[in-house]
Structure 1
């Protein structure tokens, strides 16, 4: 089995300790020669400045491609494009363009006055700049706001038609979720790359809560599996085993790239990558 290409998502730090965690994560995973690191936006655009700082620092210190998240939340069109220009000036030429989650306390997304109404408008504006590789989100188990899976896939097609180069999926718990979605996308005429998003489970309760919020289907057997693993103190072993098995199945089905949601905790991700044959190649430079 040929080892897949990999990429890693991290989130920007809000404290000094969190900054060290981010650096340790980059230090641990950069030697695996990822295609890129992606840096998230907080809910409601709450970490916009932190995202910029983290993206710039990762790019400068790792010399690896960085794909910065950019959303439609909490800013005018002009302000959002200004952020994109700042990314480009700092050498960050890849963007994950998203609608974004509503701010804390709000249940539904409401466009900012003068802002982009949805992700397709943002993608169109970025494509017109002709400066970025544009990635977008995709939802194998359907977006919570989509009327149906058909509508979910048609909206992804609109993103590609607007200028997106590649999609990264929300995480999922069963291989079949992605494979079924991939087939449906091909049937809908989508021919751009769709990369599965993988989340090694560091904490089942947190992962389950996050899955419920983003519409990811939760297999009943996983609750019992993690209850048993917690009793035996073997949750990391279970997580590594399940994630490695799923990734191996995906690679056997022709998937050549995987995107890992690290939650700034590199150990499980690194263990899974090594099990897949992704071996260290380079070292991250020290910050001068």
Structure 2
């Protein structure tokens, strides 16, 4: 099923993101994670695309297996980096032939060792170009990324919003946000998105903290902030992996419950707080995300 169709008929949706493993041990771990996730019946699972298209074949292989062997709707990430128009066309056509018709279109990060994006001769400069191109290749549902706390390369928030508007005008069907920990900033961002006339569904990107050093590195890379309350709790738990895990799970569960609160439940809230769904960044380790999903199913009737 196309994700845009799912979003028309079901709210909220829940999705989980994985990346192609580099080793046999990593592949076995990923397959175990998917086996444990399948009974939860997520709306879809996405698979990332390595820097410079380095995992192109593995991404295609994994999304095909997810759909065929686990019966879960799959979405493949696709970037402009390191690929010509013809190479991208070949990948898109292979996805379609494999029955994978959901794609997350991204400009992509520079290859390892480089700091700036460079256009591949015969390729695309912007994600919006890729969005339009994918739609030209067939009946695909195309998602794009958005940044609640502004893309690190954007001159300012208004410029970042203008780029997002261009991607939606090119045919983006829905938005998946970069990870964030401050719901207030996310709600402010959604307000600006709607104020700009962008009406496509927005999925909130949530990453449960399981490693303090790792999350500090990630947030520095993407320009996301860690609220003082969470920072204090993580500092107190650092050095105790189990305590870090449950701190991350409990905080992310609280985030999700607030994000999913039905509009109008609080008569004093402005604007109403509600999202189309939650997209979990799993880092190929699903226990934290699965735990949160189970918490949500218990706390909210009708989920799952």
Q: After TM superposition, is the score higher than 0.5?
A: yes
Q: 1:235 & 1:72 partners in 2: Cα distance?
A: 36
Alignment check: 8 A CA contact 2:92 2:137 kept: no
Question: Residues of 2 paired with 1:140 and 1:218: CA distance?
Answer: 13
Which secondary structure does the structure 2 equivalent of 1:276 belong to? helix
Corresponding position: 1:160 with 2:132: no
Tell me the secondary structure at the aligned position of residue 297 of structure 2: coil
- Of 288, 291, 297, the residue aligned with 1:268 is 288
SS at match of 1:227: helix
1:197 aligns with 2:205: yes
CA distance in 2, matches of 1:186, 1:82: 35
1:174 aligned to 182, 200, 204, which one?
182
**Structure 1: runs of 5 or more not aligned:** 283-288
> Considering only aligned residues, what root-mean-square deviation do their CA atoms show, in Å?
2.0
Provide the C-alpha distance between the structure 2 equivalents of 1:107 and 1:247, rounded to a whole number of angstroms. 34
Find the aligned partners of 2:54 and 2:219 in 1 and give their Cα distance. 21
Matched, 1:213 2:213: no
Q: Which has the higher contact order (CA 8 A, sep 6+)?
A: 1
Aligned pair 1:235/2:244, yes or no?
yes
Question: How many pairs were matched up?
Answer: 281
Question: Counterpart of 1:109?
Answer: 117
Say yes or no: does 1:251 pair with 2:260. Answer: yes
User: 4+ residue runs of structure 1 moved beyond 6 angstroms?
Assistant: none
What residue ranges of structure 2 are gaps of 5+ in the alignment?
Answer: 1-9, 262-272
**Offset at residue 255 of structure 1 (A):** 2.0
TM-score (normalised: structure 1):
0.93
Distance across 1 between alignment mates of 2:252 and 2:86 = 41
Deviations 1:208-257 (A, max 9, x none): 10111111123344333212112565111111110000100101122241
Deviation at 1:130, TM superposition (A): 3.2
Of the structure 1 ranges 219-228 and 185-194, higher mean CA displacement relative to structure 2 is found in: 219-228
Quote the Cα distance in structure 1 between the aligned partners of 2:243 and 2:141: 40
8 Å CA contact 1:10, 1:264 repeated in 2: yes
The answer as to whether partners of 1:127 and 1:162 remain within 8 angstroms in 2 is no
Q: Would the aligned equivalents of 1:14 and 1:50 in 2 still touch at CA under 8 Å? A: no
